[in-house]
Chains A and B, each alone.
Chain A
């Protein structure tokens, strides 16, 4: 009886590892494919070649010829960072405000805000587009940044995290006569640095990876972000995959770098609000 139990457990363990290895392999393979393909010619990629080639610099040169790569990279960085800083500033104020100064009315407003998280973007994009057109902001980076600042999820995240902010600090500062705004800047902000870091990462990634909205409002080649460029390069009838793959590597490197540098905060930022 014992023996069969033990062997049964071994089988389960084996199956489990097999399952995990398989899933991990499938998860990682496209990354390997991306890096390998960026060194191969399009013909090789279409044939499914799995070894490193020698076409990397050739692909890179062709990509630089097709688009102004530094400018595109700068556009994406600018839009992502600007959007992220503004989101963090405004959403953290709101999250703090809703949690520290509670009132019945404000809680009702807050619940209404949470409900807006369910609104699909597709239902907003046409009025937003007309709004940007009227404000003469089409084809500018402000058109991309402005709507992205209204992030209810980040407000929600900051409110959840503010619950853990030690209220004694607040009371002590109030007794000392520090003004409410200075408390936010000089007490709350330094204490909650890790919350800001987590919110920074998830917002930055979302902005960097944004596609549909920039696709609608950015039209000229000088304003485009990297996702738009990649999408149009790969939608050619016979896409030059070698070139596109180099672009994909360039587009993915920053987010991977941020992820590895701040993995803990990233997971905390994702999950922290649900706990």
Chain B
């Protein structure tokens, strides 16, 4: 591409055309650029500035890195961070494996009712996060349908306190998120699998490779870019987890499902607002999102 910035297919034209072309280019993108500057770039910088301040309500003073020191000694923050990371570490790999397994089942050549299965598994994605959270809350009650079903098949003897036990409350949230997003990720994998040459699978089958081996040695390596994309997106999503924790367990019991986003919300809009400190917590999410994305990119590159 030449320095004038004209696409190769455009015939060489006068200098005034170049200017006309360039001005048009800026005009078309101007609206979006303004909006992104106003509603994303400015706020993220402003957030950084806020994070250097502290105070209740409107009485705010500059504290520099004081908020970071405060973070380290804030047990609620530590709990929220730990919870969020537990959700992340358990839920994202679980969901990606499940989505991959489902996608490769649906991609095998002689599956019957393929589109029916695909539609059923994808359907959870159309529910709003609030709506499905409420569904899960109503199903996982102590006398609820999940416990009575599990007891009927004999998997458990006594009902599980899904919503009121710190450990099981986390499990409920993880199950809920997995239910909502497995089909979503599956669609990405299915689309990518369509591009894999079918003859590779034929050859593997003739060689007597088992389906499980085929999955780990052929499918997964070939899908690496899509897996990277979905895992980065899921990581960012889970780091921001809010709707489910708020609507299924409301952060409880005893903060055992409190997430970073919920803590930020509480600090800013529920307690006496301390926007500066809340902004510092929000930068913890930014930090983890960036760091984990980098790690994931590196991981994929090294394995190539």
Residues of A within 8 A of B (CB): 5, 12-13, 16, 19-20, 23-24, 26-28, 30-31, 33-34, 37, 45-48, 50, 90-91, 93-94, 96-98, 100-106, 109, 113, 116, 118-131, 146-147, 149-150, 152, 155, 167, 171, 180, 184, 205, 208-209, 211-212, 216, 227, 230-231, 234-235, 239, 241, 244-245, 248, 251-252, 255-256, 258-259, 263, 267, 270-271, 274-275
- How does the 8 Å CB contact mask read for B139-150 relative to A, with 1 for contact and 0 for none? 101011111110
- Shortest Cβ distance from A167 into chain B, in angstroms? 6
Q: Is the CB of B236 within 8 A of A120?
A: yes
Q: Is B154 an interface residue (CB 8 A)?
A: no
Q: Is the CB of B43 within 8 A of A127?
A: yes
What chain B residues lie within 8 Å of A131 (beta carbons)? 42-43
What chain A residues lie within 8 Å of B218 (beta carbons)? none
Q: Is the CB of B31 within 8 A of A20?
A: no
Bound-complex Cα distance A48 to B146 (A): 8
Bound-complex Cα distance A104 to B264 (A): 39
Q: How large is the interface on B (under 10, 10 to 19, 20 to 34, 35 or more residues)?
A: 35 or more
Bound-complex Cα distance A24 to B21 (A): 52
Q: Is the CB of A248 within 8 A of B134?
A: yes
Bound-complex Cα distance A116 to B188 (A): 22
With A48-B145, A150-B40 given, is the CB distance from A101 to B269 under 8 Å?
Answer: no
Q: Is the CB of B127 within 8 A of A255?
A: yes
- Shortest Cβ distance from A184 into chain B, in angstroms? 8
Nearest B residue (CB) for A210: B128
Q: Is the CB of B39 within 8 A of A122?
A: no
Q: Is the CB of A150 within 8 A of B38?
A: yes
Residues of B within 8 A of A (CB): 1, 3, 5, 7, 9, 21-22, 24-29, 31-33, 35-36, 38-44, 46-47, 50, 98, 101-102, 105-106, 108, 110-111, 116-117, 119-124, 126-132, 134-139, 141, 143-149, 179, 182-184, 187-188, 191-192, 208, 210-211, 226, 229, 232, 236, 239-240, 242-243, 246-247, 250, 260-261, 264-265, 268-269, 275, 278-279, 282-283, 285-286, 289-290, 293
What chain B residues lie within 8 Å of A5 (beta carbons)? 208
List 17 contacting pairs A-B, 8 Å CB cutoff, sorted by A: A27-B120, A48-B143, A94-B29, A120-B239, A123-B43, A124-B43, A126-B50, A129-B268, A130-B275, A211-B130, A212-B265, A239-B137, A244-B138, A245-B138, A251-B128, A252-B127, A271-B187
What chain B residues lie within 8 Å of A24 (beta carbons)? 116-117, 120-121
What chain A residues lie within 8 Å of B134 (beta carbons)? 230-231, 234, 244-245, 248
With A27-B120, A48-B144 given, is the CB distance from A103 to B188 under 8 Å?
Answer: no
Bound-complex Cα distance A119 to B46 (A): 13
Nearest A residue (CB) for B288: A120
- Shortest Cβ distance from B60 into chain A, in angstroms? 11
What chain B residues lie within 8 Å of A251 (beta carbons)? 128, 130-131
Q: Is the CB of B39 within 8 A of A124?
A: yes
Nearest A residue (CB) for B36: A150
Q: Is the CB of B183 within 8 A of A91?
A: no
Q: Is the CB of B138 within 8 A of A241?
A: yes
Bound-complex Cα distance A252 to B29 (A): 35
Bound-complex Cα distance A263 to B264 (A): 36
Nearest B residue (CB) for A228: B130
Q: Is the CB of A122 within 8 A of B264?
A: yes
Picked from B117, B265, B289, the residue with its CB within 8 Å of the CB of A120 is B289
